Chain A
Amino acid sequence: MRTVLLASLRTHTRRYGAALLAVVVGVVFIVVTGALSSAVRDGLTAGVAVPYDGANAVIDKPTTADATRLLEAAPAAGADAWLIGWTLQQVTHDGKVVDTSADIAQVPDQPDRRWQELVDGRFPARAGEAVVDTNAAKVADVGIGDRLRIGSGSRALDVEVVGLADSPSAFSVASVYLLWGDLSRWEDSLYVSSVAWADPGGLSAARAAIRDVVPTAEPMSVPAFTQLVQKEINNEVDIIAIIVLLFASIALLVAVLVINNTFTILFAQRARDFALLRCVGATRRQLVRSVRLESLLIGLLAAGIGIGTGLGLGHGLVAFVRAQWPDAHMGEASVGAAWLLVAAVVALGVTLVAAWLPTRRVVKVSPLAALRPDDSTQVGTSTGRIRLALGLLVIAFGALTLAVAVQVTSPPALIAGGTTTFAGVLLIGPVLVPALIRALGHVTGRVLGPAGRLAAGNAVRNPRRTAATAASLLIGVTLTTAVLTGMASSRSALADKMDEQHPIDVAITGAGPLSPDVVERVSAVDGIDAVATVPGTTARIEGLGPLPVIAPPASTNGVLHGDLVAPGPRQLQVPWDLLGDGVEPGDRVDVTVGDRTERLRVVGGEGWGEAVLVRRTTLDRLAPDPSVQALWVRASDDADPEDLAGSLEAIAVPIDAGVENGLTRRAYVDLQLDVVTGGVVGLLAIAVLIALVGIANTLGLSVMERGREHALLRALGLTRRQLRRMLAAEAVLLAVVATVLGTALGVTFAWAGVQALVGPVVDGASLVLPWTQLALVVTASAVAGLLAAVVPARRASRTTPAAGLALD
């Protein structure tokens, strides 16, 4: 049998190409994921311990108040303390905003505790001096000696850059480092990751000293803390890797379908060969062993090629990212042997599983089949009624589960319902897909004439094969359209939420009255739809200090998205950021302007910048003749958030006015949704790609099988162009039907998902169909179908009719 095995491998290698490719793509996916996650892990965990060099104890995630107390108590206790933490502030250089939210961190006060690696210049020696991260400095074009303004409004700080530094640890990197004395002004917006404590008396002395200051603190040793951090990082990387591998498994599932289909078709074409082998004395066992060995070798080959390509691609990608974005903190890629072994086992497993059923069918071939006339072009078997009934039953069950999932808002039930429904659709595929193709075939018949009609006939000739080919594409398309529709619906639901949180696109709040000149210049900025002048004054507020007091203007001029929550008669709306430190919601505070004082109740709110909001009547009592204190700006829909913010900041920064930018936050949320959608669709694209390889493959194998038929058609007067058109139409029909079916399923699943997952969080969440994107998906798959037909159609049309008729 070995001669037979080798000869058949040699003869059929090209026909196995698609199956091979499908597995290889899946394996490459796995290996590249391994390479990238190892590099990210390496980059993130490297140097985690360095910032804690010299410390005995670390307090993990203390409250900011505790951290402040610890830092202030340390000198008295004879110890050094420094914190790893950030506040996000706007950074301005030469009146130009270079970063709207740069992370500002501490450089330890004691020179020997400074963990940052100085690249140039020196560390800050006094207040008003700063060290800037080398990469951040490069991006913002900032150098030693430059003056920066950090933050805006009353708390803005002017600093001089005295040095450039690198962080040894991706985990503790920041853009600007300041001494504690400067950093502490943003105490209320500071996020503290940890506080390091160096006590000359060792860990136990440190523990005691820390507990003296903060009794509830749980200090850890540095090694224990480092381990904890590394574990957290690993968990995060693992979660991402698992998510990516989930997509890899979807791709591999599609690969299983493609391989299964390939083997089924190949074995059908070789049925006569198998029968002949049985005739000349091969036992069933020998036949099956030979065929299984063949698929095993294909799997081995795919694993080898996949691992090699994956390693090359993974290492190349990591090297590219490291060279292109040095501040991405990507480490060395190292894919473990275990990971590679798993990839190889998956490749073999996938191939063997996919080949299992077709090989079982091989043994059923009777030796007599070799003696009967070739019937490989015979019309395929019809689908059993049992299968149809079973499929409908499964769909009904799946739909029921989906309905229940929507009612009880349970994600697991949602997934179970979706999977079951999908399985049901696959079961009735051999009936459903040909029916759809026949319906659509009328259109191609109209458009392309006889070539179109023949294409529709060819496409439904073998319902099982057609359904299996469509199924592979169906998976990717269903998931893609579900994600697109789900995201569009979430986006519209979120848009309402955003309107509530950021009713104003840009609010410019002056430290004093805004001059008519400023109002004019702001109104003249490009990309602005409307500007409302907001009356107000500056007041001293008990517990909060001097702050602008503003009242919503009588005519908002259409600048608001939705409604601003208006303050009550004796209420003072204070931004949440300013609350919690001495003043709490519900407190009554004195608000004083000149000699007038009002006692008002504090409520929290946000969205209008650094100012407090009162009723117009309250404002009138405080300042009978208010000036223009703020400008609220509505951007036009097509305005670029960054450009607009830059233009407005150029006006606001010189006059010391604060800019509250709801537009960029909105844009940021949009960007995040775009990134998630793009990422998921990109990962699913690999599954779609494999499916398209499958379509090309089915078509290619069918073309070989129908060689004589095509020759006959050519002899009877089908031109080359018509033949190519016929095959292209067949592929497009298949791709479009699978896509339309997938889109219908995807939209249904998205609807259930939106009802079950988004509905409970955001009221009135409804299904939003991203028509353009869905149309794009259908168009793309039609074009891809065309592309899939290119090679088979060319091969088919190159053969002369005589050569085709002589084919065996």
Chain B
Amino acid sequence: MTSLQTNPPAPVAGPTLAGPTLAASARGLTRTYGRGDTLVSALRGVDLDLPTGRFTAIMGPSGSGKSTLMHCLAGLDQPTGGTVSVAGQPLESLDDDALTRFRRDQVGFVFQAFNLLPMLTAEQNIWLPTELAGRPRADHRARFDHVVATLGLADRLTHRPAELSGGQQQRVAIARALLTAPAIVFADEPTGNLDSTSSAEVLSFLRGSVRELGQTVVMVTHEVDAAGYADDVVVLADGQVTHHLHDPSRTDLVAALANRAA
């Protein structure tokens, strides 16, 4: 298999005085499910570095391990082997509570569905991680207003999720992810349930948050159009990284995906 990986593996070190330049990195990452006959290897030794301030798309067909990779990078799932660092923090050294606190402070999430708690209003949903962390709202008030204005949610704040369109729900989820200015935002198929207009809107917001707010966003998707909004594209097949492209053209991208199939 030809590797087009152009990014040389950087040494994984603790936070330096200059601060981490990598938002997240993985070394020799493996994850298996089940045992014996039913053993499934979702990840087979993934090495990956995700720089800060970039919009990265992780692509691959169903079963390639995209979601598992994202879950491991985000500290939602425990890898079977290998190491993961996020914002310079090695995750394997954290116990469940520390991991939860770390996620709360450093990681934002946008999921395909079940993004919002149905009994809370849009505003309550956006404030939820701050509230869970027990931080005063005042610290984030300015950013809240800015994010809500940017995402066009100002007149939707008192609505419950059931009263919002799919695109609006996803924008609320993005606002929630951005509110605490996390080191990295993970988006798992954020446009999977949306029509093309809403999809374009949501993707523009994600890219906007990278350009204008300096966020790092990692998005898992299987749509080539969605990946087109990203700066970098990581292609996954059978639990391994096959390509890591920077600013690819659509042709490069299609070639990389086709190459995987060949």
| A→B interface (CB under 8 Å) | 373, 377-379, 449-450, 453-454, 457-458, 461, 708-709, 712-722, 800-803, 805-806
- Expressed in whole angstroms, the Cα–Cα distance for A802 and B131 within the complex equals 22
25 CB < 8 A contacts A-B:
A373-B193, A378-B162, A450-B132, A450-B134, A457-B120, A461-B119, A709-B114, A709-B117, A709-B118, A712-B114, A712-B115, A713-B128, A714-B100, A717-B100, A717-B133, A718-B132, A719-B96, A719-B97, A720-B97, A800-B76, A801-B71, A802-B68, A802-B71, A802-B76, A805-B71
Q: Is the CB of B129 within 8 A of A717?
A: yes
Provide the B103-145 mask, 1 if CB < 8 A to any CB of A, else 0. Answer: 1110001010111011110000000110111100000000000
Q: Which residue in chain A gives the minimum CB-CB distance to B71?
A: A802
Q: Is the CB of B76 within 8 A of A805?
A: yes
Judge whether B91 is part of the interface by a CB distance below 8 angstroms.
no
Of residues 149 through 203 on chain B, the ones whose CB sits less than 8 Å from some CB of chain A are 160, 162, 176, 188, 193
Residues from chain B with a CB closer than 8 A to the CB of A719 are 96-97, 100-101
Q: Is the CB of B117 within 8 A of A712?
A: yes
Q: Is the CB of B103 within 8 A of A717?
A: yes
Q: Which residue in chain B gives the minimum CB-CB distance to A454?
A: B117
Judge whether B247 is part of the interface by a CB distance below 8 angstroms.
no
Q: Known interface pairs A458-B119, A802-B76, A802-B77. Does A720 touch B100 (Cβ–Cβ under 8 Å)? A: yes
Q: Which residue in chain A gives the minimum CB-CB distance to B117?
A: A709
Q: Is the CB of B131 within 8 A of A713?
A: no
Return B26 CB to nearest CB of chain A, in Å. 15
- Expressed in whole angstroms, the Cα–Cα distance for A720 and B100 within the complex equals 8
Residues from chain B with a CB closer than 8 A to the CB of A712 are 109, 111, 114-115, 117
The 4 closest A-B pairs by CB, nearest first: A717-B104, A802-B77, A802-B71, A802-B76
Report which residue of B97, B114, B134 has the largest number of chain A beta carbons within 10 angstroms of its beta carbon.
Answer: B114
Q: Is the CB of B118 within 8 A of A722?
A: no
- Expressed in whole angstroms, the Cα–Cα distance for A453 and B105 within the complex equals 21
Report which residue of A454, A457, A708, A716 has the largest number of chain B beta carbons within 10 angstroms of its beta carbon.
Answer: A716
Given contacts A379-B118, A717-B103, 4 further A-B pairs with CB under 8 A are A708-B114, A709-B114, A712-B115, A716-B109
Judge whether B89 is part of the interface by a CB distance below 8 angstroms.
no
Q: Is the CB of A713 within 8 A of B117?
A: yes
Return A448 CB to nearest CB of chain B, in Å. 11
Q: Is the CB of A715 within 8 A of B109?
A: yes
- Expressed in whole angstroms, the Cα–Cα distance for A644 and B103 within the complex equals 70
Residues from chain A with a CB closer than 8 A to the CB of B120 are 457
Q: Which residue in chain B gives the minimum CB-CB distance to A806?
A: B67
Residues from chain B with a CB closer than 8 A to the CB of A716 are 103-104, 109, 128-129, 132, 176
Q: Is the CB of A715 within 8 A of B118?
A: no
Q: Known interface pairs A715-B76, A715-B109, A800-B77. Does A377 touch B118 (Cβ–Cβ under 8 Å)? A: yes
Residues from chain A with a CB closer than 8 A to the CB of B113 are 373
- Expressed in whole angstroms, the Cα–Cα distance for A802 and B43 within the complex equals 15
Judge whether B78 is part of the interface by a CB distance below 8 angstroms.
yes
Q: Is the CB of B76 within 8 A of A450?
A: no
Judge whether B74 is part of the interface by a CB distance below 8 angstroms.
yes
- Expressed in whole angstroms, the Cα–Cα distance for A802 and B74 within the complex equals 10
Task: Count contacts between A and B, CB distance < 8 Å.
Answer: 85
- Expressed in whole angstroms, the Cα–Cα distance for A189 and B259 within the complex equals 111
Q: Is the CB of A450 within 8 A of B115?
A: no
Residues from chain B with a CB closer than 8 A to the CB of A805 are 71, 76, 111, 114, 188
Q: Is the CB of A801 within 8 A of B162?
A: no
Residues from chain B with a CB closer than 8 A to the CB of A461 are 118-119
Q: Known interface pairs A449-B134, A716-B129, A718-B132. Does A803 touch B97 (Cβ–Cβ under 8 Å)? A: no
Contact among B101, B119, B128 with A379 in the assembled complex (CB-CB below 8 Å): B119
Q: Is the CB of A457 within 8 A of B78?
A: no
Q: Which residue in chain A gives the minimum CB-CB distance to B133?
A: A717
Residues from chain B with a CB closer than 8 A to the CB of A714 are 76, 100
Q: Is the CB of B114 within 8 A of A800?
A: no
Return B142 CB to nearest CB of chain A, in Å. 21
Contact among B68, B119, B132, B176 with A722 in the assembled complex (CB-CB below 8 Å): B132
Q: Which residue in chain A gives the minimum CB-CB distance to B177?
A: A716
- Expressed in whole angstroms, the Cα–Cα distance for A453 and B78 within the complex equals 30
Return B68 CB to nearest CB of chain A, in Å. 8
Q: Known interface pairs A715-B103, A716-B104, A720-B97. Does A378 touch B118 (Cβ–Cβ under 8 Å)? A: yes
Return A371 CB to nearest CB of chain B, in Å. 14
Q: Which residue in chain A gives the minimum CB-CB distance to B120?
A: A457
Residues from chain B with a CB closer than 8 A to the CB of A722 are 132
Return A457 CB to nearest CB of chain B, in Å. 4
Residues from chain A with a CB closer than 8 A to the CB of B74 are 715
Return A804 CB to nearest CB of chain B, in Å. 9
Contact among A373, A457, A708, A715 with B119 in the assembled complex (CB-CB below 8 Å): A457
- Expressed in whole angstroms, the Cα–Cα distance for A449 and B127 within the complex equals 14
- Expressed in whole angstroms, the Cα–Cα distance for A619 and B67 within the complex equals 105
Of residues 58 through 109 on chain B, the ones whose CB sits less than 8 Å from some CB of chain A are 67-68, 71, 74, 76-78, 96-97, 100-101, 103-105, 109
- Expressed in whole angstroms, the Cα–Cα distance for A458 and B134 within the complex equals 20
- Expressed in whole angstroms, the Cα–Cα distance for A708 and B116 within the complex equals 10
- Expressed in whole angstroms, the Cα–Cα distance for A458 and B117 within the complex equals 10
- Expressed in whole angstroms, the Cα–Cα distance for A804 and B108 within the complex equals 17
Q: Which residue in chain B gives the minimum CB-CB distance to A458?
A: B119
- Expressed in whole angstroms, the Cα–Cα distance for A457 and B96 within the complex equals 26
Return A636 CB to nearest CB of chain B, in Å. 55
Residues from chain A with a CB closer than 8 A to the CB of B76 are 714-715, 800-802, 805
Return A388 CB to nearest CB of chain B, in Å. 22
- Expressed in whole angstroms, the Cα–Cα distance for A721 and B103 within the complex equals 15
Residues from chain A with a CB closer than 8 A to the CB of B115 are 712
Q: Known interface pairs A379-B160, A712-B114. Does A803 touch B101 (Cβ–Cβ under 8 Å)? A: no
Return B6 CB to nearest CB of chain A, in Å. 30
- Expressed in whole angstroms, the Cα–Cα distance for A378 and B114 within the complex equals 11
- Expressed in whole angstroms, the Cα–Cα distance for A449 and B133 within the complex equals 10
- Expressed in whole angstroms, the Cα–Cα distance for A267 and B114 within the complex equals 21
- Expressed in whole angstroms, the Cα–Cα distance for A675 and B118 within the complex equals 51
Report which residue of B104, B105, B118, B120 has the largest number of chain A beta carbons within 10 angstroms of its beta carbon.
Answer: B118
Residues from chain B with a CB closer than 8 A to the CB of A802 are 68, 71, 76-77
- Expressed in whole angstroms, the Cα–Cα distance for A719 and B94 within the complex equals 13
Return A422 CB to nearest CB of chain B, in Å. 30
Residues from chain A with a CB closer than 8 A to the CB of B114 are 377, 708-709, 712, 805
- Expressed in whole angstroms, the Cα–Cα distance for A556 and B193 within the complex equals 91
Q: Is the CB of A720 within 8 A of B96?
A: yes
Residues from chain A with a CB closer than 8 A to the CB of B188 are 805
Q: Which residue in chain A gives the minimum CB-CB distance to B112?
A: A805
Q: Which residue in chain A gives the minimum CB-CB distance to B180?
A: A717
- Expressed in whole angstroms, the Cα–Cα distance for A458 and B118 within the complex equals 10
Q: Which residue in chain B gives the minimum CB-CB distance to A451?
A: B132
Q: Which residue in chain A gives the minimum CB-CB distance to B127?
A: A450
Return A443 CB to nearest CB of chain B, in Å. 17
Return A34 CB to nearest CB of chain B, in Å. 48
Q: Is the CB of A800 within 8 A of B78?
A: yes
Report which residue of A373, A453, A714, A717 has the largest number of chain B beta carbons within 10 angstroms of its beta carbon.
Answer: A717
Q: Known interface pairs A802-B71, A805-B111. Does A717 touch B101 (Cβ–Cβ under 8 Å)? A: yes
Residues from chain B with a CB closer than 8 A to the CB of A378 are 118, 162
Return B134 CB to nearest CB of chain A, in Å. 6
Q: Is the CB of A721 within 8 A of B77?
A: no
Residues from chain B with a CB closer than 8 A to the CB of A377 are 114, 118
Residues from chain B with a CB closer than 8 A to the CB of A801 are 71, 76-77
- Expressed in whole angstroms, the Cα–Cα distance for A760 and B103 within the complex equals 69
Return B111 CB to nearest CB of chain A, in Å. 7
